[in-house]
Amino acid sequence: MPPAIFIDADACPVKDEVYKVAARHGLQVTVVANRFMATPREEFVTFHLAPEGPDAADDWIVEACAPRDIVVTADIPLAARCLAKGAAAIGPTGKPFTESSIGSALATRELMSHLREIGEITGGPRPFGPRDRSQFLQALDIAVRRALAETGRSAT
């Protein structure tokens, strides 16, 4: 079975890039969000409206993803849960989450959260730019090719 791509979509800036890569490789994309959003009217794209509530969309993605699937998310705890199921996880800036990097990413997330709570850090991340988009496309292509190779299917 070919890998699928899941998008944690509420704040994802690279949905269009995912659609293009998925179309090129013939992969199914599931867009998951807590509120309705427009998606392309293509057979390979489906939309799942998760119920309101903390982590409802994340819980659905974790339940639905399988080994070799690809999850696009900026949510580090969600990425960790998907990795534990054997799926690949990529941030919208192109940063792949891996078994060897997820522990450090979770620790950094906790540290930054603490620093924000005590007022040491007041700004957010830098704006998303063209370089981030390019890095994401490269990381997604690598993840798709790896997943297809693991299923015995060649990349197109």
User: What residue ranges define each of the domains in the chain, with the CATH number in brackets?
Assistant: 5-150 (3.40.50)
For 90, residues 6+ apart whose C-beta sits below 8 A from its C-beta are 70, 71, 72, 73, 96, 97, 136, 139, 140, 143
For the cut 90, the answer to whether the pLDDT of residue 103 exceeds it is no
pLDDT of residue 54: 83
Percent of the chain, pLDDT > 90?
Answer: 66
Average pLDDT value for the chain: 88
When pLDDT is averaged across residues 48-74 and rounded to a whole number, the result is 94
For the cut 60, the answer to whether the pLDDT of residue 106 exceeds it is no
At residue 48 the predicted structure's pLDDT band, cuts being 50, 70 and 90, is very high
For the cut 80, the answer to whether the pLDDT of residue 153 exceeds it is no
For the cut 70, the answer to whether the pLDDT of residue 144 exceeds it is yes
For 122, residues 6+ apart whose C-beta sits below 8 A from its C-beta are 116
Q: How far apart are CA 6 and CA 30, in angstroms?
A: 5
When pLDDT is averaged across residues 49-74 and rounded to a whole number, the result is 94
At residue 108 the predicted structure's pLDDT band, cuts being 50, 70 and 90, is low
pLDDT of residue 112: 57
For the cut 60, the answer to whether the pLDDT of residue 58 exceeds it is yes
